[in-house]
Amino acid sequence: MPVSTALFASRMMQLRPSTIREILKITVRPEIISFAGGLPAPELFPVEAVQRAADSVLASNGAGALQYGESEGYMPLREWIATEVQQRGVAASASDVLVTNGSQQVLDLVGKLFLNRGDVVLTENPTYLAAVQAFQAFEAKFVPVPTDACGLIPEALPELIRQHQPKFLYTIPNFQNPTGVTMTKERRIALARIAAEHGLVVVEDDPYGKLRYRGTEIPPVKHWDETGCVIYASTFSKTIAPGLRLGWVVAPAEVFARLLILKQAADLHTSSFDQRVAYAFLTQNDQAVHLERIRRAYGERFDLMNECLRAEMPTSYTWTQPEGGMFLWVTGPKELDALALLQRAVERNVAFVPGRDFFPGHDGSNYLRLNFSNSTPERIREGMKRLGKLCHELAAG
């Protein structure tokens, strides 16, 4: 007898398979030029250096790498991460760093720690889809914070806090997924100040900060966190490889202690082997050179996509100008139905993600998210040509 769905927990009621995901399943076909996924460029993965790192880990202490490890993470890696986040402007020591299975696990653990059914999470509008899913699993309600080309608007927060008593604000200040927008320094300072004044917990998700190919670096919101209300998450997914599933969180002591218990309950610890391989890779290779290769390639790919969009798209379409990261965000004419556009685009072997699902309230049908990191220049040129032609045909009716 099949399992009765009546047995499932009530939290499953909110979780629905996405229609977009169904359409996008076919985008793995090689003839489809896909700007849909959120994937880094595989040709920039440091495969040989990781192989050398893995060999050295197994040769020097293979048994240690294959043994259970500490829930907090492998201490040398935690020390390396502490130095890295200090360089980003975050005052942290190794004991503040919890190593996780990607930064996605941080979102799950944070959700588990804070959210009861019906609790409110403030988010940018639009925001990262899998964060919404992670928090939805705890039956959260989402309240969008007004957002513009400079990121979320901190001045809107006091009224939202008063009205909704949110458990936390979730934000992606650098090259946001999906829009590519970066929160300005002034807004980060204002956000940290307002959060401290109102006791607002801020979950700062920073997977893309190291992928800046233009402009000057801005410290994380956590840099201005004087009262310990900011939880800072980051990852090696975009700087080494996502398949390692290595991320981390820096959290105030009372939060750290509880995240650690939840981490133990979830999976005991992150892979001992992967952590040691990452540590060996990080210490055996010049990271500045490695990162520069990624930044240069992504900057060139953004420039090319930007140029192609200008050449190919109808004038009624506009798009963001991210200074780093992997995505840009296209706004079409008001009447555009991006889901219908995707269906027609797939027939012509090109794909993107319609923007609607990135809005917790599903309130925008005329947006497209385009990924530029995962396509070669040739495929960007050809894919943009196909998409532009289709948009012109639609505009002509």
Ligand X SMILES: Cc1ncc(COP(=O)(O)O)c(C=O)c1O
Nearer to ligand X by Cβ, of 182 and 237: the residue is 237
If one asks whether residue 125 binds ligand X (CB under 6 A), the answer comes out as no
Q: Residue 175, SS3?
A: coil
Which residue in the set 123, 125, 177, 270 belongs to the binding site for ligand X (CB under 6 A)? 177
Q: Which residue has the tokens 């840009």?
A: 328
- Which of these, 40, 35, 14, 39, lies nearest to 24 by C-alpha position? 35
Nearer to ligand X by Cβ, of 170 and 273: the residue is 170
Query: Residue 147: what residue type?
Result: T
In the complex, the smallest distance separating the C-beta of residue 97 from ligand X, rounded to whole angstroms, is 15
227-266 mask for ligand X (x: CB under 6 A)?
A: --------x-x----x----x-------------------
If one asks whether residue 320 binds ligand X (CB under 6 A), the answer comes out as no
If one asks whether residue 73 binds ligand X (CB under 6 A), the answer comes out as no
If one asks whether residue 205 binds ligand X (CB under 6 A), the answer comes out as yes
Query: Residue 265: what residue type?
Result: A
Residue 285 CB partners (closer than 8 Å, separation 6+): 46, 49
If one asks whether residue 182 binds ligand X (CB under 6 A), the answer comes out as no
Query: Residue 389: what residue type?
Result: K
Q: Residue 142, SS3?
A: strand
In the complex, the smallest distance separating the C-beta of residue 182 from ligand X, rounded to whole angstroms, is 13
Residue 202 CB partners (closer than 8 Å, separation 6+): 168, 169, 171, 191, 192, 195, 221, 225, 229, 230, 231
Residue 184 CB partners (closer than 8 Å, separation 6+): 150, 151, 218
How many residues would you count in the chain?
A: 397
Which residue in the set 24, 32, 36, 38 belongs to the binding site for ligand X (CB under 6 A)? 38
If one asks whether residue 384 binds ligand X (CB under 6 A), the answer comes out as no
If one asks whether residue 171 binds ligand X (CB under 6 A), the answer comes out as no
Which residue in the set 104, 125, 272, 320 belongs to the binding site for ligand X (CB under 6 A)? 104
If one asks whether residue 374 binds ligand X (CB under 6 A), the answer comes out as no
**Rounded Cα distance, 19 and 176, in Å:** 23
Write out the residues near ligand X by the rule CB under 6 A. 38, 102-104, 128, 172, 177, 205, 207, 235, 237, 242, 247
